[in-house]
Structure 1
């Protein structure tokens, strides 16, 4: 109780209340926090529909005969599929699809040659259905490739010798919004977080109150933290708003852990706020902040996989996207919502997100302190 009493009577808490009152009195800021997330989620979640290629293919060839290898070659002889992995077991194949390392998995049974001789061979095809558009393209191409393979088989009859048993994982109905809405959640947090946090600092510069903060009986870190804490609460309200719209309007499934989702969303909110703070320490006016954020946010969005799948990008940009915190957050959101995976699968993306948060916050704090000095 003494800790809370000391906190609520400290200069830090007075600054926090001052920031809350200042933000809530700014009607434009409140509109910026509520209207754009709603409009962007409804618009992008309904309308977007890109094409992809270079899908990552994993194959388990239990038969390992000439006819099965010929079928694998037929699948990888175009730009749609690239043989990315040859797992040794179905469990390993399933794990790689779950972790997002593979888009399509194919299992050729050991009795494939005997079934082929009887004109009734079956193969199993597992497609990651998180991206409904990608999954639909993959399913159509699998069918086309097998039809061509059947036509090239000797003594082919009316009944096709090989028939694929296609299963769409995580999104059986191939609902496009299930792919786009989680991506737009990250997009909204990035755009709104950077602009709002930058606007709060720039406003202090424009009104001349940044110098007045030096006269307050508070340390530099207290001044900066007092600006960040209210923004974190308001941005987490945006996360709740986006999640609610996704569940209610687009009927997104939520298969993962709710606490893990909000915890990692809070980490990403810190990333967005830190980026905005850094922009504010570089720019000298609101116009400069808007222009600078445009040149930074657009590449972040385009290389994140929020709108267009990463597989559709040139290899250079695929590797470059690893330096994009938005890509890692979108992978986390889709993994928790659609696949129900936990920290054991997402840990690499979580570590990357924490690294970005620490690095950007450190840079922002140092530049903010130098300006206060």
Structure 2
């Protein structure tokens, strides 16, 4: 009896794989999700300030103002001189992100010990450059002013020296973070899409009625969908890590891939169950897509992959403990970034086992009730 159940689960899973193989749209989605999507997510993240357009209005025309103007150069800034009457209109038209106005008698006031101000206008709608760029401009202006007043560029020796050591990402390269996190997020997203779409496709094509008259149980049908779609996601994630992350982007991964994929399997057990449950609620693919947006976007935004959970409200942190992506992000970052072993990530594994079991039972109960209703 047990052998027959295993054979039914295996054959039904193979049927799911053949159905997926005959669906070119889904195949393109899988290929895109773990190749182009990963590459663009890694390279699109701003690595810092780069070629920010800045307009400089030099009303002083002094040696100091010229030194300040010449200090803004690529790759951080692209400077251009402009007139005062054209500064505001240029900012309104989006021609530059920053505008620096050096007033008349700026150098004279500094040398006389009088208060002197420099106006910096920032286009705050360009958030990726506005915050860091304003800090860069402040440092550049103050550095040039101090060096001019002191008459030399020698740095002042401080009694305390800060020794900075960046762990796990010594070059502070955002591609290391963006590419791996995209793989992690896509594992959850694609598993929900594949399992939900497979069930809805069977219902729309009428093949679910064929399964109902076969000598198979609801548990076998559901488990077949879980293992087949999980296998597809695991293979796609492995290819994405090896070909895109390590091959194309040259991101070093020192952690155990075996341990990472073991955690991914537990996560997939939960997320595929979520996909089946959502598919039983939805009556069509458009409804499933809308429902998936309501569930998936909060899971990805609040799981700790984009923003540290410590910076979130306490209530959100507690609620997100029931989401499998929260624990998957935690163990994946620990394994892939910090080369953590099982002795470090076992609490996340334990939580995933509990969450996956509950999600699978709830989805199985809902799926069973839906099948009986259709009968």
Determine if the TM-score, normalized by the shorter chain, exceeds 0.5: yes
- State the partner residue of 1:184: 182
- State the partner residue of 1:195: 193
Cα 1:11–1:344, aligned 2, differ >3 Å: closer, same or farther? closer
Task: Map 1:213-232 onto structure 2 (within 5 A).
Answer: 213-232=211-230
Q: CA deviation at 1:235?
A: 0.9
Q: Distance in 2 between matches of 1:213 and 1:357?
A: 25
Cα 1:28–1:344, aligned 2, differ >3 Å: closer, same or farther? same
Cα 1:23–1:302, aligned 2, differ >3 Å: closer, same or farther? same
What RMSD in Å do the two structures reach over aligned CA positions? Answer: 2.8
Summarize deviations over 1:87-111 as a string: whole Å, max 9, x none. Answer: xxxxxxxxxxxxxxxxxxxxxxxxx
Query: Which among 16, 24, 48 is matched to residue 19 of structure 1?
Result: 16
Q: Does the aligned pair in 2 maintain the 1:252–1:337 contact within 8 Å? A: no
Q: CA deviation at 1:7?
A: 7.6
Summarize deviations over 1:143-188 as a string: whole Å, max 9, x none. Answer: x9xxxxxxxxxxxx94211111121111111111222222111211
Q: Distance in 2 between matches of 1:50 and 1:282?
A: 42
Q: Does the aligned pair in 2 maintain the 1:335–1:341 contact within 8 Å? A: yes
- State the partner residue of 2:361: 362
Cα 1:333–1:13, aligned 2, differ >3 Å: closer, same or farther? closer
SS at match of 2:165: strand
Q: Distance in 2 between matches of 1:311 and 1:11?
A: 46
Q: Distance in 1 between matches of 2:208 and 2:259?
A: 36
- State the partner residue of 1:348: 347
Q: Does the aligned pair in 1 maintain the 2:202–2:208 contact within 8 Å? A: yes
Cα 1:265–1:205, aligned 2, differ >3 Å: closer, same or farther? same
With normalisation by structure 1, the TM-score equals 0.66
Cα 1:330–1:50, aligned 2, differ >3 Å: closer, same or farther? farther
Task: Map 1:98-113 onto structure 2 (within 5 A).
Answer: none
Summarize deviations over 1:26-72 as a string: whole Å, max 9, x none. Answer: 11121121112222211211122599xxxxxxxxxxxxxxxxxxxxx
Summarize deviations over 1:201-260 as a string: whole Å, max 9, x none. Answer: 111111222122111111221222222221121111122122112111222222222321
- State the partner residue of 1:205: 203
Q: CA deviation at 1:361?
A: 0.9
SS at match of 1:160: coil
The question of 1:287 aligning with 2:286 is answered yes
- State the partner residue of 2:238: 240
Unaligned runs of 5+ in 2: 49-127, 140-154
Q: Distance in 1 between matches of 2:356 and 2:32?
A: 26
The question of 1:35 aligning with 2:41 is answered no
- State the partner residue of 2:326: 327
Number of aligned residue pairs? 270
Q: Does the aligned pair in 1 maintain the 2:183–2:237 contact within 8 Å? A: yes
Cα 1:48–1:313, aligned 2, differ >3 Å: closer, same or farther? farther
Q: Distance in 2 between matches of 1:318 and 1:48?
A: 26
Q: CA deviation at 1:277?
A: 0.7
Q: Does the aligned pair in 1 maintain the 2:200–2:285 contact within 8 Å? A: yes
Q: Does the aligned pair in 2 maintain the 1:179–1:334 contact within 8 Å? A: no
Q: Does the aligned pair in 2 maintain the 1:278–1:367 contact within 8 Å? A: yes
Q: Distance in 2 between matches of 1:292 and 1:217?
A: 32
Q: Does the aligned pair in 2 maintain the 1:184–1:306 contact within 8 Å? A: no
Task: Map 1:139-178 onto structure 2 (within 5 A).
Answer: 158-178=156-176
Q: Distance in 1 between matches of 2:221 and 2:321?
A: 33
Q: Does the aligned pair in 2 maintain the 1:328–1:352 contact within 8 Å? A: yes
Q: CA deviation at 1:289?
A: 0.3
Q: CA deviation at 1:340?
A: 0.7
SS at match of 1:218: coil
Q: Distance in 2 between matches of 1:181 and 1:352?
A: 25
Q: CA deviation at 1:11?
A: 3.8
Structure 1 stretch displaced more, 290-299 or 328-337: 328-337
Q: Distance in 2 between matches of 1:248 and 1:331?
A: 24
Q: Does the aligned pair in 1 maintain the 2:271–2:324 contact within 8 Å? A: no
- State the partner residue of 1:96: none
Q: Distance in 1 between matches of 2:219 and 2:364?
A: 8
